[in-house]
Structure formats: C-alpha cells, structure tokens
Amino acid sequence: MFKIDNFIRDVKDFPKEGIIYKDITPLLEDPEATRKTLESFLTFLKGENIQKVVGIESRGFFFATLLAQELNAGFVPIRKPGKLPYKTYRESYSLEYGEDVLEVHCDAIKKGEKVLVHDDVLATGGTAAAACKLVEKMGGEIVQVNFIMDLEFLKGKEKISAYNVVSLISY
C-alpha cells in the first residue's frame, strides 16, 4: 500500500541546528509516488471547477503545476520579492524572527475565479495566509488550500482556518 511518508526524508539540523527538515526530494524522484500523490490530491477536488492553481515558492510549484494541468486550470506562481517581471501585489507576513513578503502578478487571477492554493508544507501558516490574502485581493474565490504535509505542532492551520484545508499527511 502506498504511504507518502515513506518518501519524505528527515534531514536533521537543516537549515539550522535543532530543525528537522521534511525533504520531499525522494517523493519527486519516484514517478509512481509522484503520480499517486497527485491522484490523492485530485480525490479532494472532485466536482470543483478550479480555474487557477496557485503555487507558493518554491516547493509548492512542483505539484501546483501538475494539479493545474490535471484540472485544466491556469498556474499562478506566488514568489518572493523581485522575482516576477510584471506589476505585482505584495503581502507581508510575520516569521518567527522578522517579516517576509510574497508577490503575485496583479492580473493573474480574475474576480470570481475559483482558486486552489498549494504548498508542500503547512508549518506556522504565515506564508499560506499571505498567499490567500493575495488571491482575495484580486477577487479570487479560494476553494481549497492544500499541502503534502502539515506540521501540526506548529498550529499553522489556525491561521487559515477560514478555508477548506487539506493535508495528505500530518506530523
């Protein structure tokens, strides 16, 4: 039986001491595991008319583009500042120590479009909450926010509890 967590590698002390990084590289390296993960996401989207799939930089791009293709939807990248060439909307969010910013092209989502927001990991929820604010700033309707994994002990789901949140595995 397929278990996604068999393809998630723990890397100790990355990016700094005391952190256990959940690495999805083994999942991406295995075509069958990638396909089954994609199929798992799609089961939660049956009957939804998703028009845009938002991928959050950078690991969110991998499955967001696959989901967009399968759903016959457009792909919208949300990136760190200065990475997008056209006019953008910006949204700041808090980190453990400081702030960061996300940007999206200001014409990427039309008012009323149904949107799926995707990232690989739900940690503290700040990045996902900022991405959702950007989608709503453009008038998009968020149908679902999904993740490969949820690090439940960080309580990120609380910051995006207004949305339908799906995680395939939890730690």
In a domain, 15, yes or no: no
In a domain, 31, yes or no: no
In a domain, 157, yes or no: yes
Residue 97: predicted pLDDT: 67
Of 35, 96, 99, 158, which one is the catalytic site residue? 96
Is 79 a catalytic site residue?
no
In a domain, 100, yes or no: yes
In a domain, 38, yes or no: no
Domains in the chain, number? 1
Tens of pLDDT, residue by residue over 109-140, are 999 999 999 999 999 999 999 999 999 999 99
In a domain, 115, yes or no: yes
How many whole angstroms from its chain centre is CA 67? 11
Tens of pLDDT, residue by residue over 55-101, are 999 999 999 999 999 999 999 999 999 999 999 999 999 876 678 99
Q: Which of 23, 24, 99, 123 is nearest to 66 (CA)?
A: 24
| CATH number of the structural domain spanning residue 62 | 3.40.50.2020
In a domain, 1, yes or no: no
How far is residue 151's CA from residue 104's CA, in Å, rounded to a whole number? 26
For 93, the domain range is 49-170
Of 32, 39, 57, 59, which one is the catalytic site residue? 59
Is 59 a catalytic site residue?
yes
